[in-house]
């Protein structure tokens, strides 16, 4: 066994470890976002998210928190074109599913968020498919 080849391997392994550590640190500094053509956005929450339940987002809209197996607040009112963002602050997965099928977040693990932009006026009821007793309403003016 050659000592020089082991040293080169150790250096390469160290460099790989540093790259992975740097990638993990950069990921922790901000969230990731996926947008679909239907206006749905699924986001991994990053630091600096301070809006609480029922608060108005900076660009207009509302925040709903999933906690203690409930949507809080259970009803929000927004203007057409605004977005509602649901944040899973619970210890279990949840979903956000429109009763009319217009949007479906898929499973949201703890710490994940889902946003939907409401373009038309109306009342939109939704529920958690995992916990059907969890219900909420978005009123769009």
The 10s digit of each residue's pLDDT in 52-63 is: 334 334 457 999
Owner of token pair 């109306």:
122
- Predicted TM-score (pTM) of the model is 0.62
Long-range contacts of 47-50, Cβ-Cβ distance < 8 Å, separation of 24 or more: 49/87, 49/113
Domain residue spans of the chain: 1-30, 33-140
Mean pLDDT, consecutive 10-residue segments, the chain of 141 residues? 53 42 36 41 36 44 97 98 97 98 97 97 98 97 96
Of 105, 135, 138, which Cα lies nearest the Cα of 122? 138
* Of 57, 52, 43, 53, nearest in space to 113 by CA: 43
Which CATH number fits the domain 33-140, given the four candidates 3.40.50.1010, 2.60.40.420, 1.10.10.10, 3.55.10.10?
A: 2.60.40.420
For the CA atoms of the chain, what is the radius of gyration?
A: 21
Paired sense of beta strands 61-67 and 83-88, if any: parallel
């Amino acid at each position: 066994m050659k000592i020089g080849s082991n040293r080169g391997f150790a250096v390469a392994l160290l460099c790989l470890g540093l790259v992975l550590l740097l990638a993990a640190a950069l990921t922790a500094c901000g969230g990731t976002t996926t947008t679909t053509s239907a206006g749905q956005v699924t986001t991994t929450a990053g630091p600096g998210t301070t809006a609480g339940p029922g608060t108005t987002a900076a660009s207009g809209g509302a925040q709903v928190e999933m906690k203690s197996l409930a949507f809080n607040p259970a009803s929000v009112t927004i203007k057409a074109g605004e977005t509602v963002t649901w944040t899973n602050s619970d210890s279990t997965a949840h979903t956000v599913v429109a009763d009319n099928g217009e949007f479906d977040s898929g499973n949201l693990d703890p710490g994940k968020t889902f946003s939907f932009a409401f373009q038309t006026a109306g009342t939109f009821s939704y529920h958690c498919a995992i916990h059907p007793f969890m219900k909420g309403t978005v009123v769009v003016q």
